[in-house]
Amino acid sequence: MNPEILRRLRERAAGCCEYCWLPTGGHALPFQVDHIIAKQHGGADNLDNFAYACVHCNCYKGPNVAGIDPDTNMVVRLYHPRLDRWTDHFRWSGPLILPVSAIGRATVRTLNMNDPESVMLRESLEQERNRR
């Protein structure tokens, strides 16, 4: 990855995963560049199609552009960091990411955003921030 593109991507994301908002350094593994629309689905190799993602979110998202809404069992597109506003689809409840739309529900489920390790990590980071 071009270092300048990576710098711009990290800056645009304010140093956080664009899906779960985990801050850089909150995870032992380096963050990755996600193709929001995978190349196999016609996605471009440019900044507008890149998202800064933690390893967890990027691995679960993979090339997916849609998921199943667990409330309706319908196929729904996933959250798109360039088109969507995070707060239109998710809200916080402590360390849990709660979906507030079909897109949010499909994304939380597909990216496994509330798996126990992720929740524990977010809780630990919040406790660390509160100690400062």
Q: Collapsing DSSP states into helix, strand and coil, what is residue 90?
A: strand
Q: What is each CA distance from 104 to 25, 43, 77, 120, in whole angstroms?
A: 25, 21, 9, 21
The mean of the pLDDT values for the chain is: 93
pLDDT digits (tens, 9 = 90+) for 55-104: 999 999 999 999 999 999 999 999 999 999 999 999 999 999 999 999 99
Cβ contacts of 84 within 8 Å, gap of 6 or more: 103
| Residue 131 pLDDT exceeds 80 | no
Q: What is the pLDDT of residue 29?
A: 81
Beta bridge partners of 87: none
Q: What is the pLDDT of residue 24?
A: 87
* Domain parsing of the chain, residue ranges: 3-131
Which amino acid type is present at position 113? Answer: M
pLDDT digits (tens, 9 = 90+) for 23-55: 987 777 889 999 999 999 999 999 999 999 999
Global confidence as pTM: 0.93
